């Protein structure tokens, strides 16, 4: 760690920020909190000693400090929604010897009637803006951006950078990744970052369309083209995506006879609707995605080699969740917040023992499976935290966590819970015992055991 985060400088930070009414936080180059002033800790209702050493997204709602560390770009006078109100946040990258080593954040809040009136106006304006944004997204079809892809793993940061560089071009992109890794979110992001973002984003799930209807879906048809054809005909996905982006999901499942016409559309920029006597010119950027090894399908003559090279101008590999375990806690907490809102429950957190299990599991279903797991646990949880008993049994049994280590994990969680509760009660053990639902004698024994 660079000297900017040593104990001496933390004393300087405390002198500068310790007694101010404003909220100050400092993170290192990984987004981990190294300093939090008492004003911020009090506002968040947490023990600041327990906040230091944790990733900023675990402590501060809707934080973007980790993003500033990634980009090196300051964010001044940005609105941040914290504890039910909008605050004004400034985030400044910190440099040392030409290297980005962290970021300083400051949140300005005023608990006055004027601020509450202004806050209400801001909420009203943002709700109106969100309404316009939803209508625009419904019109274009692309609703996700890179900000919706929750991660602080270096592998995913590299993927995001590749997407940013690729989006501005017009070449075809092939997204590779296992099922549930978020390929569609990256496809949306490519469109929204491109010059085509004001035009339509059209998705085609190649695995979901019956083979006999595939050409009609992709290229459309004219009236009377076949028995049951819609009066007036129908535009195909290529025509609908004209000027925008066509996302071909699960392209490895595309029938061979349709691949010939898609190749022509990409090479010549022309499509021919079923039953039509002439072709139509289209300007479409294709983003394809697959969880299959296309090279093997080519060998088996199930996928055209010429089409493969046409769509594989730029290939982006999205890592599975098991290769970025550092994202599991971040994703689980985000999904818990989302599930709380959807169910109306108020579950405060996830126990350390559960995190150990989640981090030891291989996640064959990737992020989709993790989200299902958290949603299931929320439904089954009756207390304030998700515990091991709330996690599906197949995940518990398949986890790499060793059974002989479980006792130590549970003891560590118990110790941390007691410390947090004592912090909130300012050391009052009688009140802490009441909140924990245990006897005073039992609390004294546990405190002695853990040296608290």
Residue 117 is assigned to a structural domain of this protein: no
Per the structure, how many domains does the chain have? Answer: 4
- CA 252/CA 108 separation, integer angstroms: 52
Tokens of 317: 């590999």
Residue 299 CA, chain-centre distance (Å), reads 36
Q: Which domain holds residue 221?
A: 146-317
What stretches of 141-182 show up as alpha helix (H) in DSSP? 154-167
Bridge partners for 141 per DSSP: none
Please write the tens of the pLDDT for every residue from 265-287: 889 888 888 888 888 999 999 99
Q: What Å distances lie between residue 298 and 214, 290, 308, 451, CA to CA?
A: 20, 14, 8, 64
H/E stretch holding 287 reads strand 285-290
Residue 175 has pLDDT above 90, yes or no: yes
Residue 35: CA count within 13 A, CB half-sphere? 25
Nearest to 22 by CA among 89, 81, 73, 84: 89
Q: What Å distances lie between residue 123 and 82, 111, 269, 436, CA to CA?
A: 13, 16, 46, 37
Gyration radius of the chain over CA positions: 27
Same domain, 306 and 249: yes
Same domain, 199 and 347: no
Same domain, 103 and 160: no
Nearest to 360 by CA among 417, 411, 319, 406: 406
Residue 250 CA, chain-centre distance (Å), reads 22
Please say which residue of 289, 317, 345 terminates a domain.
Answer: 317
Residue 410 is assigned to a structural domain of this protein: yes
CATH number, position 211: 3.40.50.300
Same domain, 177 and 289: yes
The residue written with tokens 């429950």 in the block is: 345
Please write the tens of the pLDDT for every residue from 235-270: 999 999 999 999 999 999 999 988 988 998 889 888
Cα-Cα-Cα-Cα dihedral sign, residues 413, 419, 425, 431: positive
Confidence of residue 150 (pLDDT cuts 50, 70, 90): confident
Same domain, 166 and 98: no
CATH number, position 381: 1.10.8.60
Residue 134 is assigned to a structural domain of this protein: no
SS3 268: helix
Bridge partners for 81 per DSSP: 86
Q: Mean pLDDT across the stretch 301-327? A: 94
DSSP 351-390: -HHHHHHHHHS--TTHHHHHHHHHHHHHHH--SSEE-GGG
- CA 396/CA 410 separation, integer angstroms: 15
The residue written with tokens 């990733």 in the block is: 55
- CA 289/CA 315 separation, integer angstroms: 10
Please write the tens of the pLDDT for every residue from 115-147: 555 556 665 665 666 665 566 555 567 778 888
| Residues 369 and 419 sit within 8 Å (Cβ to Cβ) | no
H/E stretch holding 203 reads strand 201-205
Composition of the chain by helix, strand, coil, percent to 5 = 50, 15, 30
Please write the tens of the pLDDT for every residue from 49-81: 889 989 998 899 888 898 888 888 888 888 777
């Amino acid at each position: 760690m660079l000297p900017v985060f040593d104990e001496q400088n933390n004393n300087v930070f405390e002198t500068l920020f310790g007694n101010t009414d404003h909220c100050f936080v400092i993170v290192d180059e990984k987004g981990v909190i190294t300093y939090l002033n008492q004003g911020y800790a009090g506002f968040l209702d947490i023990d600041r000693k327990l906040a230091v050493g944790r990733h900023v997204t675990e402590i501060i709602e809707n934080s973007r400090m980790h993003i500033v560390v990634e980009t090196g770009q300051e964010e001044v006078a940005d609105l941040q929604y914290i504890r039910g109100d909008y605050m004004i946040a400034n985030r400044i990258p910190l440099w040392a010897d030409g290297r980005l080593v962290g970021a300083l954040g400051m949140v300005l809040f005023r608990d006055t009637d004027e601020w509450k009136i202004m806050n209400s106006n801001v909420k009203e304006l943002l709700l109106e803006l969100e309404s316009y944004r939803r209508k625009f997204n419904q019109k274009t079809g692309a609703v996700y951006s890179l900000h919706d892809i929750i991660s602080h793993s270096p592998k995913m940061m590299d993927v995001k950078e590749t997407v940013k560089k690729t989006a501005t071009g017009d070449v075809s992109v092939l997204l590779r990744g296992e099922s549930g890794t978020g390929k569609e979110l990256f496809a949306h992001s490519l469109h929204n970052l491109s010059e085509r973002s004001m035009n339509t984003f059209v998705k085609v799930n190649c695995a979901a369309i019956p083979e006999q209807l595939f050409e009609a879906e992709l290229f459309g048809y004219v009236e009377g083209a076949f028995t049951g054809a819609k009066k007036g005909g129908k535009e195909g996905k290529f025509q609908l995506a004209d000027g925008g982006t066509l996302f071909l999901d699960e392209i490895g499942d595309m029938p061979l006879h349709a691949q010939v016409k898609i190749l022509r559309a990409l090479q010549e920029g022309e499509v021919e609707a079923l039953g039509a006597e002439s072709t139509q010119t289209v300007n479409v950027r294709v983003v394809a995605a697959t969880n299959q090894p296309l090279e093997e399908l080519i060998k088996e003559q199930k996928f055209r080699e010429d089409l493969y090279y046409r769509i594989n101008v730029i290939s982006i590999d999205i890592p599975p969740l098991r290769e970025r375990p550092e994202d599991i806690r971040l994703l689980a907490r985000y999904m818990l917040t989302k599930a709380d809102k959807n169910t109306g429950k108020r579950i405060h957190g996830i126990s350390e023992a559960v995190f150990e299990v989640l981090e030891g599991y291989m996640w064959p279903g990737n992020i989709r499976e993790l989200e299902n797991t958290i949603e299931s646990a929320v439904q089954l949880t009756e207390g304030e935290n998700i515990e091991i008993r709330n996690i599906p049994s197949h995940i518990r049994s398949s986890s790499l966590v060793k059974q002989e280590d479980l006792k130590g994990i549970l003891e560590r969680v118990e110790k941390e819970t007691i410390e947090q509760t004592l912090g909130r009660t300012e050391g009052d053990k009688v009140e802490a015992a009441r909140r924990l639902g245990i006897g005073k004698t039992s609390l004294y024994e546990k405190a002695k055991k853990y040296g608290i």
